[in-house]
């Protein structure tokens, strides 16, 4: 891989992490997570081996499903509270969906089957 491209992907990872950690709004947190997902996929698949490509596809599908759950959770919360603020997570359904989405993204115990293969 071109060193400039690799540097760009690593800088995008740092940018996405910074955006996610410093956000107060659900949409900006989601955007930071998506920047991380799109930056890590070329780094996973930089060796053109079929197992690396398979790992990148699995990673993308799990992260896309978790991002969908995260957006759905934030929409339910905004519908019930009227705010998109991260600190106003009061509805139990949105809290459960958010916890599920974060567990999928991190590869925690009920959703960890994709993690060792990637």
pLDDT attached to residue 112 = 81
Q: What is the pTM of this model?
A: 0.83
Cβ-count burial of 36 within 10 angstroms (0-12 exposed, 13-18 middle, 19+ buried)? Answer: buried
pLDDT of 118 reads 73
Residue 14 has what pLDDT? 94
**Residues in the chain where the model's pLDDT stays below 50:** none
pLDDT at residue 11, rounded to an integer? 94
CATH 1.10.287 matches 3-106: yes
> Structural domain boundaries of the chain?
3-106
């Amino acid at each position: 891989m071109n060193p400039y491209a690799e540097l760009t992907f690593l800088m995008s990872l740092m940018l996405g992490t910074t955006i996610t950690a410093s956000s107060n709004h659900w949409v900006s947190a989601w955007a930071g997570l998506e920047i991380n997902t799109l930056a890590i996929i070329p780094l996973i698949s930089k060796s053109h081996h079929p197992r690396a490509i398979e790992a990148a596809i699995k990673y993308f599908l799990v992260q896309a499903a978790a991002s969908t759950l995260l957006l759905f959770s934030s929409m339910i919360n905004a519908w019930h509270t009227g705010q998109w603020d991260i600190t106003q997570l009061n509805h139990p359904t949105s809290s459960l969906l958010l916890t599920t989405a974060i567990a999928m993204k991190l590869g925690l115990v009920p959703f960890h089957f994709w993690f060792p293969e990637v």
